Structure 1
Amino acid sequence: MTVTHPGLARTAALDCLFVRPGDDGRARTAGRHVLGRVTYGHGGRPPQLHDGAPLARMAMAAADDERITEVWTTDRPVRHGRDGGLVYAEDGEHFLCAVRIEEQDVYRDTVRAVYEAAFTLMWRLGYTELLRMWNLVGAITGRNGEGMENYQDFCVGRAQAFESWSGRIPGMPAATGIGSLRPGIDLYFLACRDGRARHLENPRQTPAHRYPDRYGPKSPSFARATLLEPADGSRPVLYVSGTASIIGDDTVHPGDVERQCAVTLANIQALVAPDNLRRHGLAGGFRLADLDCVKVYVRDAEDLPAVRAHCAKALGAGPDIAFFNVDVCRPDLLVEIEGICR
């Protein structure tokens, strides 16, 4: 089956598209089954099951900003369920689940418990290849009840969960850790059963899990990208993590959003390029023009026009792009970008 994006047609077992207010979302998913919906909108609430699939509502836009719904579709019939606070859907090959952690003084123990609950559910249902994680953290650079930065607090719990599951989940997948406009933490995960997940690092950047301790007591637990080699033999898909203006482990060009945007896009180009895939023992490769379902996070509202212009020049008119005015995981980072290369 084919899902058509503006200016782009393709066939994929697992696909993603953005639906905006006024779009005919049902027409655009005709012949497909919905695995999950994530609305990046004006308010948030715990995930629920809606029309046979998870629906997560994230507080990522001001009242007068455009609301975007990220829709994950599959060519297989979908089954759905609830396990404690987790809501999920599966199609026999792909799995999506979402969960919310309400505001707390200290997050680490709850983050660990929620991550382990998600891992347990995935494995119980037979989905052992973790592909992608999204972590939306309210007041991400604010302080918890102990004075630790909320993102660092979150990273401790996530790292502990991966350490506990290291015998069953040997590699960390692509991820985004970004601010949101309400307290608490919203999370969602993608996994698969028979496809193969290959986790990639960036030659321009220190692997996040090897960051020095000045960034927190536990390093961030994610890879710079994950390549999915689908079980059906179709073309690989590359999930690009949230990427920012970091060389090695240092923020570069603090205070200069245009130069940070340029470095961020150069980092993505180096990550997805054929040379980097060969470095990981993989064939093929991508260009910036292959990015789709791009999410761009901009810390300061006054920087949005410049970032929009820079992305339009670098990415062209083809990809579906959404922009959000939210905090990034370091106070000196002004922009972060993620996407999918097909």
Structure 2
Amino acid sequence: MTITHPGVPTRTGAPTCRFVRPGENEEERTEGRNVLGRVIYGHGGRAPVLHGGVPLVRAAMAGEGADRINEVWVTDRPVRGGRDGGLVYAEDGEHFLCATRIEPDGTYRDTVRGVYEAAFALMWRLGYTELLRMWNLVGAITGPNSEGVENYRDFCVGRAQAFESWSGRIAGMPAATGIGSLRPGIDLYFLACRSGRVRHLENPLQTPAHRYPARYGPKAPSFARATLLEQDGGTGPVLYVSGTASILGDDTVHPGDVERQCAVTLANIEALVSPENLRRHGAAGGFALTDLDCVKVYVRDAEHLDAVRAHCARVLGGVRDIAFFNVDVCRPDLLVEMEGICR
């Protein structure tokens, strides 16, 4: 099934993300642009569907009493949506958003590999050959599977196998987030593009995740620390920052101290997006922490939420689109993780 949303493009930049909170007008927040997809970070969840012709993901990320966040991806181009098996997607001729869900199971690795490969095949068939960003919301992320293996490590095996099998066609691993969810199973959505120059960036302060030693699991996590899209037409670069935490090298630092973990996390992001790091990767330009937008902050323990909010307010200033979620992080000793987008 396909549904087309007509529109006259006035800009041709990358899709824009906006957070719409209860009581806000979506059309005003998105400036009347065409919707490419929605992700509701709310109190419950279900498998993604086509709603109004574009993907709608409902992820259980907001606990009792917390406001839900409607993450809306918009574009200046006409949008066409469709379904392919368990995948729902939308495309605008340059950009592609796809979503799916893996229901709870004793082990995940084989299903994860199959789902990733199906998504890669659809993306490739439609002509979107550059991965930009992936989100993986994993229930009981640090809990054990039926074999006693941590769910995140089990997930990482399947994801790595999919990237290995597609290594001849997909050039590099993109920015990604792997974070806890408040319900079992795995919700996944990702962005890809057709044109533009894509660079996957690493952080000089951190070991590349895909080179982590075996003590972190049988397969290292398959993602880059950020992905830079240098767009055609001179519309300016967009930098997608992966989920980032208090890790130096490959070690967690300051376990038990949420303030110091916040400081290291933000310092990691600052080094990652800096002009020096972009030059290191052969790219011009660069960003500061105050250029971050669409910031999501994941806090493991509810009692730390106020301290993390205050720390982010001091450092990030007046970022409008920032959301906080009380969910597990991918290591038991990590108290906070952050991600965002720089334009």
What TM-score do the two structures reach when normalised by structure 2?
A: 0.96
**1:266-307 Cα shifts (integer Å, max 9, x gaps):** 000000000000100111000000000000000000000000
Q: Does 1:134 align with 2:112?
A: no
Q: How does 1:69-218 map to 2 (within 5 A)?
A: 69-218=70-219
Cα distance in 1, alignment partners of residues 133 and 70 from structure 2 = 18
Instruction: Give the conservation status (yes or no) of the 8 Å contact 1:38–1:56.
Output: yes
Cα distance in 2, alignment partners of residues 169 and 208 from structure 1 = 18
Residue 211 of structure 1, CA deviation: 0.1
Cα distance in 1, alignment partners of residues 155 and 206 from structure 2 = 22
Instruction: Give the conservation status (yes or no) of the 8 Å contact 2:14–2:238.
Output: no
Secondary structure in structure 2 of the residue aligned to 1:269:
helix
Instruction: Give the conservation status (yes or no) of the 8 Å contact 2:14–2:95.
Output: no
Deviates more, 1:292-301 or 1:11-20: 11-20
Residue 262 of structure 1, CA deviation: 0.3
Gaps of 5+ in 1: 2-9
Instruction: Give the conservation status (yes or no) of the 8 Å contact 1:140–1:329.
Output: yes
Aligned length: 334
Partner of 1:6: none
Partner of 1:237: 238
Residue 131 of structure 1, CA deviation: 0.2
Secondary structure in structure 1 of the residue aligned to 2:118:
helix
Cα distance in 2, alignment partners of residues 103 and 232 from structure 1 = 44
Instruction: Give the conservation status (yes or no) of the 8 Å contact 1:291–1:319.
Output: no
Residue 27 of structure 1, CA deviation: 2.5
Secondary structure in structure 1 of the residue aligned to 2:282:
coil
Aligned-residue RMSD, C-alpha: 1.2
Amino acid at match of 1:175: A
CA separation of 1:45 and 1:85: change in aligned 2, threshold 3 A: same
Partner of 2:3: none
Partner of 2:39: 38
Secondary structure in structure 1 of the residue aligned to 2:233:
coil
Deviates more, 1:61-70 or 1:100-109: 61-70
Partner of 1:29: 30
Partner of 2:268: 267
Cα distance in 1, alignment partners of residues 284 and 31 from structure 2 = 33
Cα distance in 1, alignment partners of residues 176 and 253 from structure 2 = 21
**1:226-261 Cα shifts (integer Å, max 9, x gaps):** 001113331000000000000000000000000000
Q: How does 1:278-293 map to 2 (within 5 A)?
A: 278-293=279-294
Residue 319 of structure 1, CA deviation: 3.8
**1:104-140 Cα shifts (integer Å, max 9, x gaps):** 0000000000000000000000000000000000000
Residue 147 of structure 1, CA deviation: 0.5
Secondary structure in structure 2 of the residue aligned to 1:95:
strand
Cα distance in 1, alignment partners of residues 134 and 317 from structure 2 = 27
Secondary structure in structure 2 of the residue aligned to 1:232:
helix
Residue 12 of structure 1, CA deviation: 4.0
Q: Which runs of 4+ in 1 moved over 3 A?
A: 10-13
Cα distance in 1, alignment partners of residues 296 and 29 from structure 2 = 20
Cα distance in 1, alignment partners of residues 180 and 56 from structure 2 = 20
Instruction: Give the conservation status (yes or no) of the 8 Å contact 1:203–1:271.
Output: yes
Residue 13 of structure 1, CA deviation: 4.1
**1:154-211 Cα shifts (integer Å, max 9, x gaps):** 0000000000000001200000000000000000010000122110000000000000
Partner of 1:66: 67
Cα distance in 1, alignment partners of residues 312 and 300 from structure 2 = 15
**1:21-48 Cα shifts (integer Å, max 9, x gaps):** 0000022224311000000000000000
Cα distance in 2, alignment partners of residues 232 and 11 from structure 1 = 8
Amino acid at match of 2:151: N
What TM-score do the two structures reach when normalised by structure 1?
A: 0.96
Residue 318 of structure 1, CA deviation: 2.9
Cα distance in 1, alignment partners of residues 211 and 21 from structure 2 = 38
Partner of 1:326: 327
Q: How does 1:52-63 map to 2 (within 5 A)?
A: 52-63=53-64
Secondary structure in structure 1 of the residue aligned to 2:83:
strand
Cα distance in 2, alignment partners of residues 326 and 304 from structure 1 = 11
Deviates more, 1:97-106 or 1:312-321: 312-321
Cα distance in 1, alignment partners of residues 183 and 174 from structure 2 = 26
CA separation of 1:241 and 1:252: change in aligned 2, threshold 3 A: same
Deviates more, 1:154-163 or 1:317-326: 317-326
Gaps of 5+ in 2: 1-6
**1:3-24 Cα shifts (integer Å, max 9, x gaps):** xxxxxxx994421100000000
Q: Does 1:228 align with 2:229?
A: yes
Amino acid at match of 1:22: G
Amino acid at match of 2:39: V
